[in-house]
Amino acid sequence: MTLSAFDCLRRGLANLRANWELILLRWGGLLAVGVLVVAGVALPLIVLGVSLLGEGVLGLARGGPDAWARLGTRISELIPAVGLSFALALVGTLFIWLFAGVLYCFLQAGIYGVLTAADRQALPGAERGREWFRTFSLRHFFGWGGRYMWRFFGFVNLFLAVWIGVALAFVLWAFLTFGGARRWGQGAAWGIGCGGLLPLIFLAFVVSFWALVAQADLAREASGVWTAAANGLRILGRRFGAVLLLFLLFFGFALALALVGFVVGLVLGFSVSQAPMGIAVSLRLALWLLQSLASSALALALASSVVALVQSELPRGAPPEGAAA
C-alpha cells in the first residue's frame, strides 16, 4: 500500500513515539562513538608527547640561546625509537576507529531492526495509534543489532566507496575549471564551473537520499547489502519527490533547532559571563547535550518516516523472524 509523504510522516512519528527509548540509545551510542573517534586521534599525540617528555626533549627548549638547535639535534637522534612508538600508536588508532565503526553499525542495525519490526507489526495505512507499533525491548534491540551489524558494516563501506567516487568527480570538476581558466580565460572557467557544479551537487544529494532509503531496507529478513542498494535506487527513482519532501521538512526543523540553540547560547553566555568558569562550562555542556538529544530525535523521526515509505513500497509478506537472542 503506497503512502504519501505526509502519511509516511504520521506513521513514522507514531512508530518513534511508541519506541521512544531508541532516541536515548542513539544519543548515548553516538556520544560513545564520538569519544572513541577523539580517543583515536589523541592516542598518537599522547604517545608522541610522552615519548618526548620521557627523553627530556621538551625541556631543552628552556635551556638557553642555542636551545632550539640542541632540541632539533636531540629529536633527530630519537626519531627511530619515537617513530616506532608513533607507528604503533597509529595502529592502535586504526583499531579504535574500527571498533567505533562496528559500534556505529551495531547501533544502526538495532535501531532500524526495531523500527522495521514495529512498522511490519502495525496494520498498513497512515492512521495507526502508537500502541500498534510498540515492540521495543533491550533484548530485541541487541538481537537486531547483533543479527544485522555486519550487513550495515558492509553497506557503510559501500557508501564510503561511492562517496570517494563523488569526491573524485569534484576534484575533476575543480581541475577542469582551473584548467579552463588558464587555457580559455575567465568566461570559460565560469561556464565550466557553474555548468558542472549544479549536477555534482545534485549527485551528492541523490547519493545521500539513496543511502537513507537503502538503510531503511537493510533490516528486512530478505535484504542484504546489494539488495538494499538496488531497492534504494528503485524506490528513490519512484518516490524521489516524497523523499525530498521529508528531507526538506526535517532540514527545516534542524535549522530551527540550530537557531534556537544559537539564541539560547547567546543569552546563556551573557547570563553567566560573571559566573565561575565551572558553572559556565557546565551550563554550556548541558545546553549542548540537550541540543544533541533533540537532533537525535529529529534524525530518528526522519529514519522512521523513511522506513514507513520503504515498507509501503515493498510487498508485505510474512513478518520477519524474531530477533536473535
Q: What is the pLDDT of residue 74?
A: 54
Residue 197 and residue 206: Cα distance in Å, rounded?
Answer: 14
User: Does residue 93 fall inside a structural domain?
Assistant: yes
Provide DSSP, 139-195: HHHHHHHHHHHHHHHHHHHHHHHHHHHHHHHHHHHHHHHHHHHHHH-HHHHHHHHHH
Give the domain range for residue 41. Answer: 5-313
Give pLDDT tens digits along the chain (325 positions).
678 888 899 999 999 999 999 999 999 999 999 999 998 888 777 766 655 554 454 455 555 555 555 555 555 655 665 666 667 778 888 999 999 999 999 999 999 999 999 988 887 766 667 788 889 999 999 999 999 999 999 999 999 999 999 999 888 888 877 776 677 666 666 777 777 788 889 999 999 999 999 999 998 888 889 999 999 999 999 999 999 999 999 999 999 988 988 888 888 777 776 767 777 778 888 888 898 899 999 999 999 999 999 988 887 654 444 444 3
User: Does residue 271 fall inside a structural domain?
Assistant: yes
Q: What is the pLDDT of residue 174?
A: 81
Residue 277 and residue 281: Cα distance in Å, rounded?
Answer: 6
Distance of CA 59 to the CA centre of its chain: 42
Burial of 268 (0-12, 13-18, 19+ CB in 10 A): middle
User: Does residue 323 fall inside a structural domain?
Assistant: no
Residue 283 and residue 286: Cα distance in Å, rounded?
Answer: 5
Residue linked to cell 496494520: 123
Q: What is the pLDDT of residue 286?
A: 85
Rama region for 24: left / alpha / beta (φ>0; ψ in -120 to 50; rest):
alpha
User: Does residue 111 fall inside a structural domain?
Assistant: yes
Residue 267 and residue 281: Cα distance in Å, rounded?
Answer: 14
Q: What is the pLDDT of residue 45?
A: 73
User: Does residue 324 fall inside a structural domain?
Assistant: no
User: Does residue 88 fall inside a structural domain?
Assistant: yes
Q: What is the pLDDT of residue 146?
A: 92
Q: Are 229 and 214 in contact (CB under 8 A)?
A: yes
How many CB atoms are closer than 10 A to CB 309?
27
Q: Are 305 and 11 in contact (CB under 8 A)?
A: yes
Q: What is the pLDDT of residue 318?
A: 42
Task: Count up the domains in the chain and report the number.
Answer: 1
